[in-house]
Chain A
C-alpha cells in the first residue's frame, strides 16, 4: 500500500479530523475508541466525503487535492469499501451483489473471477440465495467478495467483525490473510478490538479525537496501551 494523507482536515460541528500520514504496510490497522473519526477517515479515502483541506494520494495518483480542486469520484478510485453495516444490496441475490462491482479488468485478472473469489470466500453454494436470508458470517464474506471483485487497489474494512462471535472471527481472519496473500490487496482495517489487530496487522495507527496519536507494530502499540 502506498497511501498518503497530506494535512487532511475535516470539520464536522465541534469534531475535527486532522491527519498527516503515509501508510505503506500491506495491512494497517486503525485503532481507536468510538467517535475517534475512524469511519470518517475511511469515507474520505473512499471519496464519500470531501476533506476541507489537504490531499489524498494513492500509488502516486492524486485522489483529492483541495489546493487545485482535484476530487476523483469514488467510482474511479478503485478502492473497495466494506462498511460496518456491510451495505449489501437487499434486492439482489448473492450473485447479483458480486456481479455489481465486478469490473471488466477483473476478467483479465484470473484471481478476480467471480467463481474464484466466491470459492476463496467460501460462498459458492450461496450464489443464488437472497442476501437478506444469510447469516451474519455469510453476509460478511459476501461483502468481502463483492469488494474484491471490483479489483481494488486498496480495501477499506470498517469494523467488519464487530457483530461476530469468536468462532466466526477466527474463520474470517483466515480469509483476510488469504485476501492479503492470494489477491495481494492491501487492507486498511478499522477496529477497536486489540486481538484482531494482533493477528492481522503489520502496523497499527492509534486514532483519538480525530488525530493520530501513535503508530508502530501491533505488539509495541498494544502492549504500550495496556
Chain B
C-alpha cells in the first residue's frame, strides 16, 4: 500500500473517532431520556433517532446536503455566523458518519439503561441524591458496558460509511476520501489491485475495534 492509501486509512480513523466522540453526549442523553417513562413525544423522538438506520444512506446524504449546503438553512447560518463551510469538506464526512452511526449508539445505550434496576435509582434518591447525581453515579456507571458496546458499533459503522458521505462530502482526494470511498473509486476506475489492500486494512481495523470493544465491555462487567 502506498503513502496515499495510508493517509486515507489514517483520515478515516480520525473521522470515525471524532464522529463517535461527538455523538456520545447527545446519544447517551437521548438513550437515557428514551428510558424515562411518562413524557410526551417519546415515540416521535425515538423514531427520529432511528430514522438514519432505515432510510437509504443516499437519502440521508441528500437531506444533509439540503440542510447544510450553502443555501440550506443550517449551512447558510453556519457560514454567515461562524464562516464555517460544511459540504464537500472533512466536516461533512464527520457529519455524515455521526448521523449514520447515531442510531446504533442510541439503541445500544438505551438497552443498557433499560437493564439498570430502577430500584437502585429510587434508593439513591432516598439517600439524598439529586437527579444528576443518580445519573452520573448509578445509571451511567451501570450502563457503561452497553454504552461502550454502542460506541464501538458507532465507530465501526463510521469506518464503513459510504452513501451519505458520498453525497454530502463527495470523493475529493486528500480532502474527503475515506476507505470506503477510495475502494469504490478504485473499483470504478478498474484499479482492483489498489482496492484489495484497502479492503484488507478495513477488515483488520473493524475486527480489532469490535474485538477490543468486547474485551472492554467484559472487563467492565467483571468489576
Contacts and interface: CB of A to CB of B under 8 A. Distances in A.
B210 interface: no
Nearest to B121: A87
Interface stretch (B9-17, B134-142, B159-167): B134-142
Given A75-B130, A87-B123, A103-B128, 17 more contacts: A47-B126, A48-B125, A74-B125, A75-B125, A78-B128, A79-B126, A81-B126, A83-B119, A87-B119, A87-B122, A89-B124, A91-B142, A91-B223, A100-B124, A101-B127, A146-B127, A147-B127
The majority secondary structure among interface residues of chain A is loop
A66 B122 CA distance: 21
A74 B137 contact: no
24 contacts: A48-B122, A48-B126, A75-B126, A75-B129, A75-B130, A79-B126, A80-B126, A81-B122, A81-B123, A81-B126, A83-B119, A87-B120, A89-B120, A91-B142, A91-B223, A100-B124, A100-B129, A100-B137, A101-B126, A101-B128, A103-B128, A146-B127, A147-B126, A150-B126
Interface residues of A, number: 24
Interface string B97-128: 00000000000000000000101101111111
Max chain A C-beta neighbours (<10 A), residue from B119, B126, B223: B126
Contacts of B124: 89, 100
Interface of B: 117, 119-120, 122-130, 137-138, 141-142, 223
A95 B146 CA distance: 26
A147 B223 CA distance: 24
A142 B123 CA distance: 14
Contact of B128 (A46, A89, A91, A150): A150
